[in-house]
Amino acid sequence: MSSPAASPAATLAALGPVMQLSYCPADYDAALAHWLRLGAGPFFEIPHVQLDNVQFRGAPSAIDFSMALGYFGDIQIELIRQHNDAPSMYTEWRAAGHEGLQHMCVLVDNIADARSRVAAAGATVVQEGDLPGGAGAVIYVDTGGGPGTVIEYLQIGEAGRAGFAMMHAAHRDWDGSEPIRGRS
């Protein structure tokens, strides 16, 4: 007797643990203040993120967005603010009036393998792009569960992982000073 095939959820979960919760709030500054009150931080703002080869639902898109990254214990919190009206999962989310968790992130070693597993599980890539200079790639996958069930699969190199480790260490050693870093 053969063993049952792995469920789509099990296939996607096998790619790795969730390391980040991401929000695309209507009021970015209020969301940032909320997370700081809860003890998350410090937050590192990255303005006007530039991804290469961005596709949203199979079509090119010139998304202009900024993000703030900070840790809450061992989980990374990401807040996203899109500056233009280019089609994206962020503008789609906001247009639908959603609040709360927009997506979760899993780090992967091989984006091509993640893409293959996602396809085998029957999930849909809704947005994707390449990090500048060949530093990695990202796909955002709709798992079909409704709002907040998009999973980001992110392949980054050692420099990106070192950046996340630095942010995590800053959280562990944080005395509450300089809660937002990188803001111009």
**92-121 pLDDT per residue, tens:** 999 999 989 999 999 999 999 999 999 988
What is the domain partition of the chain in residue ranges?
A: 8-175
Of the candidates 102, 100, 161, 110, which has an alpha carbon nearest to the alpha carbon of residue 138? 110
Lowest mean pLDDT among 74-83, 86-95, 146-155, 173-182: 146-155
- What percent of the chain shows pLDDT beyond 70? 93
Long-range CB pairs of 62-68, under 8 A, 24+ apart, other chains included? 62/86, 63/88, 63/90, 65/90, 68/28, 68/32, 68/43, 68/44, 68/180
* pLDDT score recorded for residue 5: 52
- For 163, half-sphere exposure in the C-beta direction (CA atoms, 13 angstrom radius) is 12
Summary mean pLDDT of the chain: 92
Confidence of residue 1 (pLDDT cuts 50, 70, 90): very low
Q: What is 8-175's CATH number?
A: 3.10.180.10
Q: What is the pLDDT of residues 4-26, one digit of tens each?
A: 455 566 667 778 899 999 999 99
Q: Are 108 and 155 in contact (CB under 8 A)?
A: yes
CA distances from residue 100 to 79, 164, 178 in whole angstroms, order as listed: 11, 23, 26
**Residue 103 and residue 126: Cα distance in Å, rounded?**
12
Under 8 Å between Cβ of 23 and 105: no
Evaluate if pTM is beyond 0.85: yes
What is the maximal distance between C-alpha atoms in the chain? 63
- How high is the pLDDT of residue 3? 45
In the chain, DSSP finds a helix count (H) and a strand count (E) of: 5, 11
Could you read off the pLDDT of 74-86 as tens digits, one per residue?
999 999 999 999 9
